[in-house]
């Protein structure tokens, strides 16, 4: 890679940072971009307290969201190998912009995954939102890598005789949010098990995994734990410092810090 080192994260706008990455060099992108929501309102709905939440969440105005999405996806497409894949998380509110940008840029949709978690936003006049969308896309269908039996072989059964291989590969994922009680945290964070599952199906050891919107650094942290090379960008300085500390903890502890 030119001017950017793997196994490093950078406190910079990904629109600038990705331009420094060599074309066709990244194996996998996993990212949870800003949702263009009023997060202070969402935080109240989730009954979150401010005590341990790092402030600085960057909002994207709704009217600018498509342009913002298209710009970073153009760079994502360029840096991704022809065998590479990308997983993009989204709420429902800007899903249309994300889907349109993916198609316009040239990505090929592989799956539309639903991540179902254990609680949602309490609402009065509509149904409770208790899931996120995850768009699994690739650059080239012919060369896309996918390790179908990375987690379960085809004969592995559950206690009641059901195929674990089949159930694990269904496109609705029931994975609980993580609670970091009395721990410093960012407002949003993908669960460890969610990222681990993606890494195991769509990468192997020593592959390069990119997250353009690091947040808490969870993608980089789990990638490092599973012996993948990581790379990422975070525009909020306090988030970047938090992610950097978490990555350093792995060097010291040689294991994932226990947050509950």
DSSP for 132-146, please give it: EEEEEEES-TTT---
Q: CB neighbours of 1 closer than 8 A, spacing ≥ 6?
A: 20, 21, 22, 25, 231
CB atoms within 10 A of CB 155: 8
- Residue 144: Cβ within 10 Å count: 18
Q: Where in the chain are the domains?
A: 8-253
- Is 234:15 a contact under the CB 8 Å cutoff? no
CA-CA-CA-CA dihedral for 78, 37, 215, 9, to nearest 10: 30
Closest by alpha carbon to 118, among 165, 76, 177?
177
Question: What pLDDT is attached to residue 112?
Answer: 97
> Are the C-beta atoms of residues 31 and 75 closer than 8 Å to each other?
no
Q: What is the CATH topology of the domain spanning 8-253? A: Rossmann fold (3.40.50)
- CA 64 to CA 207: how far, in whole Å? 33
Q: Model's pTM, two decimal places?
A: 0.86
The whole-number pLDDT of residue 218 equals 95
pLDDT computed for residue 40 by the predictor = 44
Determine which helix (DSSP H) or strand (DSSP E) holds 230, and give its type and residue range.
strand 229-233
pLDDT (0 to 100) of residue 36? 52
Residue 59: the pLDDT is 65
Please identify every stretch of the chain with a pLDDT value under 70, giving residue numbers as ranges. 1-2, 36-59, 179-188, 251-260
Pseudo-torsion of CA 215, 13, 3, 29, nearest 10°? Answer: 50
Query: Taking a C-beta distance cutoff of 8 angstroms, is the pair 223, 209 a contact?
Result: yes
Structure tokens at 125: 């006049």
């Amino acid at each position: 890679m030119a001017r950017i080192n793997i196994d490093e994260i950078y406190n910079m706008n990904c629109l600038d940072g990705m331009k420094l990455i060599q074309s066709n060099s990244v194996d996998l992108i996993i990212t949870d971009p800003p949702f263009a929501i009023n997060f202070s309102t969402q935080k109240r709905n989730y009954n979150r307290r401010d005590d341990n939440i790092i402030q600085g969440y960057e909002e994207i105005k709704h009217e600018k969201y498509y342009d913002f999405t298209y710009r970073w996806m153009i760079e994502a497409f360029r840096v991704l190998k022809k065998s590479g894949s990308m997983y993009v998380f989204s709420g429902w509110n800007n899903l249309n912009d994300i889907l349109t940008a993916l198609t316009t840029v040239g990505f090929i949709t592989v799956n539309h995954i639903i991540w179902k978690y254990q609680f949602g936003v309490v609402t009065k006049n509509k149904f409770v939102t208790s899931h996120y969308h995850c768009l699994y896309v690739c650059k080239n269908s012919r060369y896309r890598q996918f390790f179908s039996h990375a987690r379960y072989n085809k004969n592995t059964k559950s206690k009641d005789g059901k195929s674990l291989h089949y159930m694990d590969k269904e496109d609705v994922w029931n994975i609980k949010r993580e609670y970091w009680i009395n721990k410093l945290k960012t407002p949003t964070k993908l669960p460890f098990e969610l990222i681990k599952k993606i890494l195991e199906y769509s990468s192997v050891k020593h592959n390069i995994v990119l997250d353009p919107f690091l947040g808490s650094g969870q993608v980089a942290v789990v990638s490092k734990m599973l012996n993948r090379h990581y790379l990422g960008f975070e525009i909020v300085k306090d988030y970047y410092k938090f992610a950097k500390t978490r990555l350093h903890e792995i060097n010291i502890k040689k294991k994932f810090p226990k947050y509950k």
